[in-house]
Amino acid sequence: MCTVTYIPQPQGFVLTSNRDEKAFRETIIPHKYRRDDVILCYPKDAVAGGSWIAMSNKGRVVCLLNGAFVPHTKQAFHTHSRGKVLIDAAGSGLNPDQFLTAEALAHTEPFTLLTIDFDGNEMTSFSELIWDGNDKHNRQLDTRHSYIWSSVTLYSAANRKERKVWFNQFLKESKMHPTASGLLQFHSGKHTNDSTVNVIMMREGELKTVSTTQIIHEGSKLEMSYYDLIKNTNHTIQL
């Protein structure tokens, strides 16, 4: 939920997310879950019951980053899990703007939610939904462009700028046509000797990159691969 990249492909896209968390926090590998007539697939945080990335058989992919525009301090009134907001968004029949407008977020910590909607090969919407603790923001993104996000709660503005430089260099080296496997290499590569800001990060208190999740949409294919970096295992599931 802390480093995310999006890359357009000729018949879809690749979305890849590194989760930075305490190494001892338990996670359940991706499974399929039914919500009314919607089938969702996502890894689950065993503590709060939410997730940071999910895909739906109704043509929706969502991904969460902690924080909005600037770092914030968790308050006692933050009692509603951001990860559950993501699951609600993944299973909602509302469009992203309608969902953001309708969702009650007063007791939720700030977050950035990426929502991609598609119908077959056609991308119908790419939204960056942000809750800053007071106001809701909805920015429409260009499905033809590549993007990288880093959580503001863990990475300074200078860190985030540096990571964009790494990403742009990666795009340049791949001649603007990176593959899914190339993206995994970017998400697992060593871009600096400073482990506290690397894409695979490690800090004091067992805070580190614990997993990488990649969603590939290609034509009728919708596939999630989950790489557990603690247990050194991987799991793939399709909808």
**Cα distance between the two ends of the chain:** 22
Two tokens, residue 120: 């077959």
Work out the percent of the chain whose per-residue pLDDT is above 90: 85
| pLDDT number for residue 162 | 97
Hey, where are the domains in the chain?
3-238
Taking only the tens place, the pLDDT of each residue in 97-122 is 999 999 999 999 999 999 999 998 88
| pLDDT number for residue 80 | 84
| pLDDT number for residue 79 | 78
| pLDDT number for residue 74 | 77
The DSSP string of 67-110 is: -SSS-----TT--B-HHHHHHHHHH-SS-HHHHHHH---TTB--
Q: 82 φ, ψ to 5°?
A: -65, -35
Q: How many residues does the chain have?
A: 239
Q: Which CATH number fits domain 3-238: 3.40.640.10, 1.10.150.120, 3.60.60.10, 3.30.70.1400?
A: 3.60.60.10
Taking only the tens place, the pLDDT of each residue in 83-95 is 999 999 999 999 9
pTM of the model: 0.96
The predicted model gives 54-72 an average pLDDT of 95
| pLDDT number for residue 1 | 65
CA distances for 35 relative to 57, 188, 221, 222, angstroms: 11, 33, 21, 18
| pLDDT number for residue 150 | 97
Two tokens, residue 161: 């700028």
